[in-house]
Structure 1
Amino acid sequence: MLTRRTFVRTGAVAAVAGVAAVTALETGVLPGRARVHDVLGLTGPDGVVPDVPAGPVVAGSFDSFGRRTTVGYSILYPDGFGPADELPVVLVLHGRGGDHTSAVDDLGIDRYLTATVREGTPPFALATVDGGRDSYWHRRADGNDPGFMLGQEFLPLLAERGLNTSRYGVLGWSMGGYGALLWVALHYWQRRVGPAVRAVAVGALSPALWRDYADVQPGAFDDVRDFERSQVFGRPSGFRDVAVRIDCGRDDPFAEAAAALRQELNAVGGQQAGLHTPGYWRRMLPDQLRFLGAKVGR
């Protein structure tokens, strides 16, 4: 017979297993404190996708020289807008194991976008793209270069599709959160020469940050030299004239590093109750989208 106590215990074990699976995929760590806090309800509620319609989607693919493969992408518009509107854009970089569909399938970001605009944020579009399931959004020894793809291929494609890329934003979670920060840090020269295309804001959710090479997840970097070349710490000039928001759950394995970078860059955001899970990312998406939309829409 299934007693209430057994049912509750079984449910708690299942919840912990779900959290552990996501955390293991994204971080390679199974934190014991996070398990306990989740069972005790100390990690905050999961975000709920808004009950609003999604806007139009333009999806496609292109042969990428930088990625050495065919790359899929999606352009997401808020409800009431579409390709005929010259909207500013925010690039969306997915987490480890994901692709350009993850932002919608895992986070419901298309409906969050509609809700954000309906609440008064200037309208903007989101553009998601395949960066490689474990590329960590930087050039790898095998020749895969997501950064080249973003700057030399994807942004020009978005401009050809009628989006305003003169002041764009970048948003990412986990691996993509790190990738978004790295993209801005390494492309500061664009702002120095005053080009027509430049990043003005970056938002990172639970960015995959490590201070020491000995702690990194296997496969995140090719070697210690790759790790050192691809650091976001110690590059304050790279974020000059860029608005930065970094959010990370208190029980996230990356919480300490995220807090250190937020302080180094004098960024907004914070540490909230939360884990390294889609539920936390969904909860924080409204704040991130309002922040980015206000910056790119100015």
Structure 2
Amino acid sequence: MLSRRTLVRTGVAASVAGVAAVAGLESGVIPGRARVHDVLGLTGPDGVVPDVPAGPVESGSFESFGRRTAVGYSVIYPHGYSDTAALPVVLVLHGRGGDHTSAVNDLGIDRYLTAAVQAGTAPFALATVDGGRDTYWHRRADGHDPGYMLNQELLPLLADRGLRTQRYGVLGWSMGGYGALLFAALDYWQRMVRPERKAVAVGALSPALWRRFEDSAPGAFDGVEDFELSSVFGRRSGFRDVAVRIDCGRDDPFAEAAGELRTELRAQGGTQLGAHTPGYWRRMLPDQLRFLGAKLSA
């Protein structure tokens, strides 16, 4: 039979071990925090697609020199506006494994757009496009160049449709969040060539950011040199005159790097309850769309 002193010592040791385990879990020393927080309901509620009508969605495809293949695209309008409305536009960049349909099918962005406009945000359209399942939206060694496709092919196509592309926005999540930031930063140099068209705002949800090539996802970059040339850190001049919002869940593996970039760029946004999930991205879409709409109409 255990003595009272032994029981007390055992209880104290268990308590200390429990506190140490919790501290290790919360600090990230012990992996699995996101999973534990999800089970305990500490990652926040999933966003719910608004119960409002979707507006027109016009889809098509074009042969892309930049992508070396035919790519699909969709133009999404808020409810109450025709598919010929001369609205400003936000380019929407999908995450890894996605395509131009992901924004509607996975996030319900068409209804979020209607809800934002109904709540008072100045109307604008969204344009989604196939950027490649794992290109990470930058020029690759095999010749694929999603950035060229966006700048030299998609934007002119949207202008031909009657959309206002002189001042446009960019929005993306995960791989697309990184791509949106990089495209906006590189657009600074394009403005010197085409001063009549420029990105004025970029919104990034859980952008896939790494500080070291060794930590990056397999296949995201062609090597160390590609990683360094394609970094969005240290590019403050590229974001000159561009409003930036970066949101990332605290249990997201990219939260630390996203916070560092937010500080570097003095960007809006923040770190909220959440993980790297569509539920978190849906929850943050209203804030992102309101931000982009306000900047486009400023």
Letter matched to residue 95 of structure 1: G
Alpha-carbon displacement from aligned partner over 1:136-183 (angstroms, at most 9, x marks no partner)? 000111111100100000000000001000000000000000000000
- Please state how far the C-alpha of 1:94 moved relative to its aligned partner: 0.1
Aligned to 2:127: 127
Range with greater deviation from structure 2 (184-193 or 92-101) = 184-193
Cα distance per residue 1:183-220 (max 9 Å; x no partner): 01112123456611110000000000000011001010
Query: Any idea what the Cα deviations from partners look like across 1:250-292, whole Å, max 9, x if unmatched?
Result: 0000000000000000000000000000000000000000000
| Structure 2 unmatched runs, 5+ | 1-29
Of residues 226-235 and 190-199 in structure 1, the stretch that sits farther from structure 2 once superposed is 190-199
Q: Does 1:264 align with 2:264?
A: yes
Contact 1:31/1:253, CA 8 A, preserved across alignment? no
Q: Which amino acid in structure 1 is aligned with residue 252 of structure 2?
A: D
Q: Distance in 1 between matches of 2:157 and 2:266?
A: 33
Determine the C-alpha separation between the residues in 2 that align with 1:49 and 1:100. 18
Give the match for residue 152 of structure 1: 152
Q: What is the SS of the residue equivalent to 2:50?
A: coil
Tell me which residue corresponds to 1:255.
255
Amino acid aligned to 1:82: S
Instruction: Assess if the C-alpha contact under 8 Å between 1:56 and 1:76 holds in 2.
Output: yes
SS at match of 1:179: helix
Give the secondary-structure state (helix, strand or coil) at the position aligned to 1:246. strand
CA distance in 2, matches of 1:47, 1:186: 32
TM, length-normalised to structure 1: 0.89
Determine helix, strand or coil for the equivalent of 1:232: coil
Query: In the alignment, is the contact (CA less than 8 A) between 2:59 and 2:73 conserved in 1?
Result: yes
Does 1:189 find its partner at 2:172?
A: no
The CA deviation at 1:297 is 2.1
User: What is the number of equivalent residue pairs in this alignment?
Assistant: 269
Q: Which residue of 2 aligns with 1:137?
A: 137
Q: Which amino acid aligns with 1:86?
A: A
What SS does the corresponding residue of 2:183 show, helix, strand or coil? helix
CA–CA distance in structure 1, aligned partners of residues 193 and 150 of structure 2: 19
Structure 1 residues 50, 31: CA separation in 2 closer, same or farther (over 3 Å shift)? farther
Q: Classify the secondary structure of the residue corresponding to 2:98.
A: coil
Matching of residues 269-284 of structure 1 within 5 Å: 269-284=269-284
Normalized against structure 2, the TM-score is what?
0.89
Match of 1:206 in 2: 206
Secondary structure, in 3 states, of the residue corresponding to 2:60? strand
For 2:198 and 2:254, the matched residues in 1 are separated by: 28
Residues 208-261 of structure 1: CA deviation (Å, up to 9, x unaligned): 000001100101001001001100000000000000000000000000000000
| Number of the residue aligned with 1:78 | 78
Residue of structure 2 in register with 1:4 after alignment: none
| SS of equivalent residue, structure 1 residue 187 | helix
Q: Aligned equivalents of 2:212 and 2:93: distance in 1?
A: 24
Q: Which amino acid aligns with 1:267?
A: A
The AA in structure 2 aligned to 1:44 is: G
Identity %: 79
- Compute the displacement of 1:82 (Å): 1.8
Computing the radius of gyration from Cα coordinates, the structure with the larger value is 2
* Kept in 2: contact 1:170–1:180 (CA 8 A): yes
Q: What is the Cα-based RMSD across aligned positions, in Å?
A: 1.1
- 1:234 — aligned with what? 234
Segment of structure 1 superposing worse, 273-282 or 31-40? 31-40
Q: Following the alignment from structure 2 to structure 1, what is the Cα–Cα distance between the partners of residues 82 and 136? A: 31
Counterpart amino acid of 2:71?
V
Structure-1 residue corresponding to 2:9: none
Task: Report the residue type matching 2:245 in the other structure.
Answer: R
Query: Does the alignment pair 1:69 with 2:49?
Result: no
CA distance, structure 2, for counterparts of residue 273 and residue 31 of structure 1: 18
Work out the CA distance in 2 between the residues paired with 1:31 and 1:205.
23
Aligned counterparts of 2:255 and 2:82: Cα–Cα separation in 1? 37
Instruction: Supply the AA of the counterpart residue of 1:258.
Output: A
The answer for the alignment partner of 2:87 in structure 1 is 87
Distance 1:186 1:199 in 2: 10
